[in-house]
């Protein structure tokens, strides 16, 4: 699933290509992505509208349109937005045709993505929590949140209503960088560990944005190319490989129904003594 770095990359790549353009045509090949809007209404409210802005909120892409509409897109597990692909896309579900004759093509193998056409984007994204790369995401804010939770810290990081945009693989990477086991109760973390986790979350996400996201499975940038962030993953999706820090094989467990990767030596299980201090692994 595209997470914060992937969605940020998509927005950054598309913004100079689509902002200021007008939608002059729409091809709908699959009505499933359209949320609470029929095809006729969807086309009527989009055709002739110009794209005034493009932004990200959590894992959502928001097209701000003229006449007060917002098109809020969530790519879910296998969705992609491709700008002017060279040839036919086998899983193309929807196309927006712009006034310079360029095309924005939505493809989705599993058809879980959603398109919400709303006046107020807050109706879709209003419940999302703090952005982890914003100034509001402070060490104190993270500490206050974790202090209220006894659930595993991995689960807490994935709660989109409290922290928006962190997904499975970047939670694994941040916890490894901070030296924290994913099953540690959130409210058991000490101040030094919270400081390390705060630093590692921001550092891991910023690095992944710089590398234009991770192409583990279906993610493609709008130009159709893959991202590079996965090439530098320490633990995520690396089960059985050697830990880059201590050479211990990376383990995989399930936390909150999510495959979770960690180093059993660098991230000691709850109740076991740490091999190193919690702050030693922090990035930043």
Taking the C-alpha atoms of residue 95 and residue 99, their distance in angstroms, rounded to an integer, is 13
**Residue 36 zone, left/alpha/beta (φ > 0; ψ -120 to 50; rest):** left
Beta bridge partners of 51: 65
Q: Which helix (H) or strand (E) holds 9?
A: helix 4-18
Catalytic member of 76, 245, 258, 265: 258
110 as an active site residue: the answer is no
192 as an active site residue: the answer is no
Helix 168-178 with 191-210: angle, nearest 10 deg: 130
59 as an active site residue: the answer is yes
Catalytic member of 3, 95, 173, 193: 3
Tell me the CB-side half-sphere exposure of residue 105, using CA atoms within 13 A: 22
Residue 164 per-residue DSSP state: S
2 as an active site residue: the answer is yes
Catalytic member of 2, 5, 152, 268: 2
Q: How far apart, in Å, do the first and last CA atoms of the chain sit?
A: 26
Greatest distance between any 2 Cα atoms in the chain: 63
**Which three-class secondary structure state does DSSP give residue 28?**
strand
Catalytic member of 57, 59, 154, 238: 59
Enumerate the active-site residues: 2-3, 59, 258
């Amino acid at each position: 699933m595209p997470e914060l770095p992937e969605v940020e990359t998509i927005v950054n790549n598309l913004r100079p290509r689509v902002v200021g353009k007008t939608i002059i045509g729409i091809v709908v090949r699959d009505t499933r992505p359209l949320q609470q809007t029929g095809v006729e209404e969807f086309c009527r409210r989009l055709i002739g509208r110009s794209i005034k802005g493009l932004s990200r909120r959590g894992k959502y892409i928001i097209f701000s349109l003229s006449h007060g509409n917002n098109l809020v897109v969530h790519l879910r597990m296998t969705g992609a937005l491709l700008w002017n692909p060279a040839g036919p896309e086998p899983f193309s579900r929807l196309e927006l045709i712009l006034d310079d004759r360029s095309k924005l093509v939505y493809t989705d193998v599993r058809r879980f993505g959603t398109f919400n056409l709303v006046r107020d984007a807050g109706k879709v994204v209003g419940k999302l929590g703090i952005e982890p790369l914003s100034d509001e995401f402070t060490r104190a804010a993270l500490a206050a949140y974790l202090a209220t939770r006894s659930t595993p810290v991995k689960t807490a990081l994935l709660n989109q209503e409290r922290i928006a945009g962190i997904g499975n693989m970047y939670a694994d990477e941040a916890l490894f960088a901070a030296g924290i086991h994913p099953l540690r109760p959130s409210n058991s973390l000490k101040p030094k560990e919270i400081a390390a986790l705060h630093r590692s979350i921001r550092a891991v996400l910023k690095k992944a944005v710089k590398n234009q996201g991770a192409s583990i499975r279906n993610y493609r940038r709008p130009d159709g190319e893959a991202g590079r962030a996965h090439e530098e993953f320490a633990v995520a999706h690396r089960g059985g490989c050697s830990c880059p820090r201590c050479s211990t094989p990376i383990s995989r467990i399930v936390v909150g129904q999510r495959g979770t990767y960690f180093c059993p030596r660098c991230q000691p299980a709850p109740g076991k003594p740490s091999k190193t201090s919690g702050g030693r692994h922090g990035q930043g």
